[in-house]
Chain A
Amino acid sequence: MNDYNFAYLDEQTKRMIRRAILKGLAIPGYQVPFASREMPMPYGWGTGGVQVSAAVLTPDDTFKVIDQGADDTTNAVSIRRFFEKTAGVSVTEATADATVIQTRHRIPEEPLREDQILVYQVPIPEPLRFLEPSEIETRKMHSLEEYGLMHVKLYEDISQHGAIATAYAYPVKVEGRYVMDPSPIPKFDNPKLEMDAIQLFGAGREQRIYAIPPHTQVVSLDFDDHPFEPTKADHACDICGAEDSYLDELIVDDQGGRMFMCSDTDYCNGRRAAGNAGTQSIPMEATE
Chain B
Amino acid sequence: MSVAALEGGFRDGPIDAAHAFRAVMNAMARPGQIQSVAGVRPPAPLSVAAGVVVLTLCDPDTPIYLTPSYDTPAVRDWITFHTGAPLAAPGQAAFALGPWDELPIGEFSIGTPEYPDRSATLIVEMPKLANEGCVLTGPGIKDETFLGLPDPSAFQTNALIFPLGLDFLFTCGDRLAGLPRSTKVS
Contact = CB atoms under 8 A, between A and B. Distances in A.
Interface string A184-198: 000000000000101
B129 interface: no
Nearest to B167: A26
Contacts of A178: 163
A196 B140 CA distance: 9
Given A11-B14, A177-B162, A198-B25, 15 more contacts: A5-B14, A6-B18, A14-B18, A18-B21, A18-B25, A19-B94, A22-B28, A23-B117, A25-B180, A27-B117, A27-B181, A28-B139, A57-B18, A198-B26, A215-B142
B147 to A, nearest CB: 16
Interface in B92-124: 94, 112-117, 119, 121
Given A11-B13, A22-B121, A32-B117, A58 B18 contact: yes
A213 interface: yes
A134 to B, nearest CB: 13
Contact of A6 (B14, B24, B112): B14
A216 interface: yes
B45 to A, nearest CB: 24
Contacts of A212: 139
A139 B114 CA distance: 6
A23 to B, nearest CB: 4
A30 B117 contact: yes
A140 B114 contact: yes
A213 B140 contact: yes
Interface in B2-38: 13-15, 17-19, 21-22, 24-26, 28-30
Interface of A: 5-7, 11-12, 14-16, 18-28, 30, 32-33, 55-60, 139-140, 142-144, 175, 177-178, 196, 198, 211-217
Contacts of A22: 24-25, 28, 57, 121, 167
B61 interface: yes
B80 interface: no
Nearest to B142: A215
B57 A19 contact: yes
Contacts of A27: 116-117, 162-163, 180-182
Contacts of A140: 114
Given A12-B59, A18-B25, A25-B140, A214 B15 contact: no
A30 B163 contact: yes
Contacts of A18: 21, 24-25, 56-57
